[in-house]
């Protein structure tokens, strides 16, 4: 696990501890910077367009402070019945979200933008993950929320923890996308820019 062969710095455009942990699985030398952007959707913007735009905007914003660097931007939204589910922030909202998801399929769109500062080299991808929830009893939802406190997670669960027990099935070409950063897709993009992942 090394930095790129041309010794460029690698910067994760995020303050998310989940993304930082995921990136550390494939790189051991990078920094993090939180992008300060407006994440409000544009009128009539489709979820996939919205999440792709935010990943690119995050990477572009952070690249202004890091010339001659490789910047990684990512974003994720959770959609149920055409409606975006944000982070719950409270136990009450988390319980409401999980009750709404009970017995239904939720779509997660996880975007990734990898760019080289000052260069035209840039890749943007959106990985789709389908999560089918089993029928959930209210008391088990309440126990789950109390135990795992998924208050900063869109959809109100942590699939890398106990949240996996809420599912009937999940489908994705890139399993870590659901946690917040699609590592298969990221590794492919980094290799194109000369970064040695292995």
DSSP 20-67: HHHHTTT-SS-EE-------PPPTT--HHHHHHHHHHHHHHHHHTT-T
Nearest to 125 by CA among 186, 180, 176: 186
**Annotated catalytic residue, options 29, 36, 75, 152:** 75
Distance of CA 192 to the CA centre of its chain: 21
67: its two tokens? 């010339």
How far is 76 from 177, CA to CA, in rounded Å? 9
Which of helix, strand or coil describes residue 167? Answer: strand
Whether 139 is a known active-site residue: answer no
How far is 50 from 39, CA to CA, in rounded Å? 9
The structure tokens 């009539």 sit at: 44
Any idea how long the chain is? Answer: 198
How far is 175 from 169, CA to CA, in rounded Å? 12
Which residues form the catalytic set?
75
């Amino acid at each position: 696990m090394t930095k790129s062969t041309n010794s460029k710095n690698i910067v994760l455009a995020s303050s998310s501890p989940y993304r930082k942990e995921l990136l550390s699985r494939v790189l051991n030398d990078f920094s993090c910077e939180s992008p300060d952007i407006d994440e409000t959707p544009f009128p009539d913007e489709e979820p996939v367009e919205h999440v792709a735009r935010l990943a690119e905007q995050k990477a572009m914003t952070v690249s202004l402070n890091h010339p001659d660097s490789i910047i990684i931007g990512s974003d994720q939204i959770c959609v149920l019945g055409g409606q975006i589910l944000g982070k719950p922030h409270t136990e009450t909202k988390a319980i409401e979200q999980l009750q709404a998801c009970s017995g239904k399929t939720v779509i997660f769109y996880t975007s990734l933008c990898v760019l080289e500062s000052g260069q035209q080299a840039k890749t943007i991808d959106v990985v789709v993950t389908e999560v089918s929830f089993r029928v959930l009893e209210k008391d088990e939802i309440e126990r789950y929320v109390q135990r795992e406190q998924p208050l900063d997670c869109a959809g109100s669960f942590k699939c890398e923890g106990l949240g996996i027990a809420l599912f009937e099935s999940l489908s994705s070409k890139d399993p870590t996308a659901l946690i917040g950063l699609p590592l298969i897709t990221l590794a492919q993009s980094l290799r194109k820019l000369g970064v040695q992942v292995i």
